[in-house]
A and B are shown apart, each in its own frame.
Chain A
């Protein structure tokens, strides 16, 4: 079962910025234990562009699709046997990243 694991940061109350080493070590472990599929941090939402080509002409707009205090700061994709395993890892991940984590299964 694959899970999208989203790292959620908060603009008004951001998590610590010194987490890179801890995250790397955690990633090593995910790889060693066979859970790791993919991971990546995301640039600031200011760097986002939204494209809408449902009408006659494509419209490009600056910024994220939704303006909110909370935003997606990065993602993992994990392969885990069930939600309990994914939640156990996510509990650690939240500590490691110092941010909230959303766990969502792929279809």
Chain B
């Protein structure tokens, strides 16, 4: 990648949400904001190649996008065009940098809470947040949700149309709104994080640090807004403890490194310390009677993993107890699958395989189901069946590092 492309990629990762949020605040319209932002990035690709990268790429993009938005509003000559134009002229003054920073943090939160409005269908909320806040392209989002590009495009368009037609406001919600909205926001942020942690598609990096970092940053922002909400803290801890293992998770050759083979010395100690501290805080709250939600339990599971200096030191009975607690809250087959992995460590692969096999009708299309089965069958010496399960997992896996890992494991079978 040359310098200009790198600068554009970086500006896109760092600046997309800012440009969209700033323009949405100014023009009060997601469509105008998004299209003007996209146009500004397209112009940057051409212009920066010729003129070089400007000293402040973010400001350059915001200014360019602003101009494009104004052009568009003038072109469309809307009914209230005159009124808008008057505002545009007034708003053109340069705000002091401090004021901009404060406003931008709020702008992004506004954008998140607008995209995650309870009046929108859950799938639309996730899609819209990834597009408007995360800056993912429609094909990327479509791949992440295993749907066709046009379907996803339609979902995003419909959500934006509803925001406009029903007048869903672009505002930071009040304390009263938060409890009803926050679970949706957390679900969206978790999906964004997971898509970054296990990015799908043959053309993306296997780990998209831009997305995991964005999800963590947005969760921190949400936590600043709701410091007493246990699930917000739980989700942040979960993300930090997962992110801490990121660099150890993919080898130099781009292959996924499973937990048991990871170099634990490469884990990020600062993130682990922060995650553990948050988990302890929630454990204290639980001891005082607060019932933990799923993110807090998942964070606690990850805290047990990250406490162990070696895979052999892992307190599997603790992990299984936490999974048992989680199953009560969330009877999803994916939780049951992960629980079976802990069962394999405690009661052996045969017992685990029996409980995994019971999930077949619900998880037959999920690559991790076949990968887990493949591993258990390998440990039981059932090579041929294991190979078939690896083949199925490889077919279904969307992550390049995971495909490489599964292929090696399959080829090691005798």
Flag whether B175 is at the interface (Cβ < 8 A): no
B117 to chain A: closest CB distance in Å? 8
Residue of B nearest to A84 (CB): B169
Interface of chain A, main secondary structure: mixed
Measured between beta carbons, the chain A residues less than 8 angstroms from B165 are 105, 107
Measured between beta carbons, the chain B residues less than 8 angstroms from A1 are 167
Measured between beta carbons, the chain A residues less than 8 angstroms from B171 are 84
Measured between beta carbons, the chain A residues less than 8 angstroms from B168 are 82-84
Measured between beta carbons, the chain A residues less than 8 angstroms from B1 are none
Q: How large is the interface on A (under 10, 10 to 19, 20 to 34, 35 or more residues)?
A: 10 to 19
Tell me the residues in window 54-106 of chain B with beta carbons closer than 8 Å to chain A beta carbons. Answer: none
Produce 1/0 per residue, B107-119, CB < 8 A to A. 0000000000101
Interface of chain B, main secondary structure: loop
Flag whether A87 is at the interface (Cβ < 8 A): yes
Flag whether B411 is at the interface (Cβ < 8 A): no
B193 to chain A: closest CB distance in Å? 27
A84 touches B177 (CB 8 A): yes
Produce 1/0 per residue, A74-107, CB < 8 A to B. 0000000111100100000000000000011101
Measured between beta carbons, the chain B residues less than 8 angstroms from A82 are 167-169
Residue of A nearest to B163 (CB): A83
Measured between beta carbons, the chain A residues less than 8 angstroms from B167 are 1, 81-83, 105
Flag whether B166 is at the interface (Cβ < 8 A): yes
B344 to chain A: closest CB distance in Å? 47
Measured between beta carbons, the chain B residues less than 8 angstroms from A83 are 117, 119, 166-169
B166 touches A105 (CB 8 A): yes
Q: How large is the interface on B (under 10, 10 to 19, 20 to 34, 35 or more residues)?
A: 10 to 19
Measured between beta carbons, the chain A residues less than 8 angstroms from B177 are 84
B290 to chain A: closest CB distance in Å? 26
Produce 1/0 per residue, A20-58, CB < 8 A to B. 000000000000000000000000000000000000000
A77 to chain B: closest CB distance in Å? 15
Max count, chain B CB within 10 A of own CB: residue among A1, A83, A103, A107: A83
B93 to chain A: closest CB distance in Å? 27
Tell me the residues in window 127-169 of chain B with beta carbons closer than 8 Å to chain A beta carbons. Answer: 165-169
Q: How many angstroms from the CA of A81 to the CA of B177 in the assembled complex?
A: 16
B285 to chain A: closest CB distance in Å? 29
Residue of B nearest to A105 (CB): B166
Q: How many angstroms from the CA of A104 to the CA of B169 in the assembled complex?
A: 15
Measured between beta carbons, the chain B residues less than 8 angstroms from A103 are 166
Residue of A nearest to B173 (CB): A84
Q: How many angstroms from the CA of A83 to the CA of B177 in the assembled complex?
A: 13
Tell me the residues in window 5-30 of chain B with beta carbons closer than 8 Å to chain A beta carbons. Answer: none
Q: How many angstroms from the CA of A1 to the CA of B177 in the assembled complex?
A: 21
Q: How many angstroms from the CA of A1 to the CA of B169 in the assembled complex?
A: 12
B119 touches A87 (CB 8 A): yes
Residue of A nearest to B164 (CB): A105
Q: How many angstroms from the CA of A84 to the CA of B177 in the assembled complex?
A: 9
Measured between beta carbons, the chain A residues less than 8 angstroms from B173 are 84
Measured between beta carbons, the chain B residues less than 8 angstroms from A107 are 165
Tell me the residues in window 183-197 of chain B with beta carbons closer than 8 Å to chain A beta carbons. Answer: none
B177 to chain A: closest CB distance in Å? 7
Q: How many angstroms from the CA of A86 to the CA of B119 in the assembled complex?
A: 11
B181 to chain A: closest CB distance in Å? 10
Q: How many angstroms from the CA of A6 to the CA of B62 in the assembled complex?
A: 42
B121 to chain A: closest CB distance in Å? 15
Q: How many angstroms from the CA of A1 to the CA of B168 in the assembled complex?
A: 11
Q: How many angstroms from the CA of A103 to the CA of B165 in the assembled complex?
A: 12
Measured between beta carbons, the chain A residues less than 8 angstroms from B117 are 83
A27 to chain B: closest CB distance in Å? 23
Measured between beta carbons, the chain A residues less than 8 angstroms from B119 are 83, 87
Q: How many angstroms from the CA of A105 to the CA of B167 in the assembled complex?
A: 8
New A-B contacts (17) at CB < 8 Å, excluding given A82-B167, A83-B166, A104-B166: A1-B167, A81-B167, A82-B168, A82-B169, A83-B117, A83-B119, A83-B167, A83-B168, A83-B169, A84-B168, A84-B169, A84-B171, A84-B173, A103-B166, A105-B165, A105-B166, A105-B167
Q: List 12 A-B contacts (CB under 8 A).
A: A81-B169, A82-B167, A82-B168, A83-B117, A83-B119, A83-B166, A83-B168, A84-B168, A84-B171, A84-B177, A87-B119, A105-B167
Spell out A's residues near B (CB within 8 Å): 1, 81-84, 87, 103-105, 107
Q: Which 9 pairs show the lowest CB-CB distances between chains A and B?
A: A82-B169, A83-B166, A82-B167, A105-B166, A83-B168, A1-B167, A83-B167, A105-B165, A84-B169
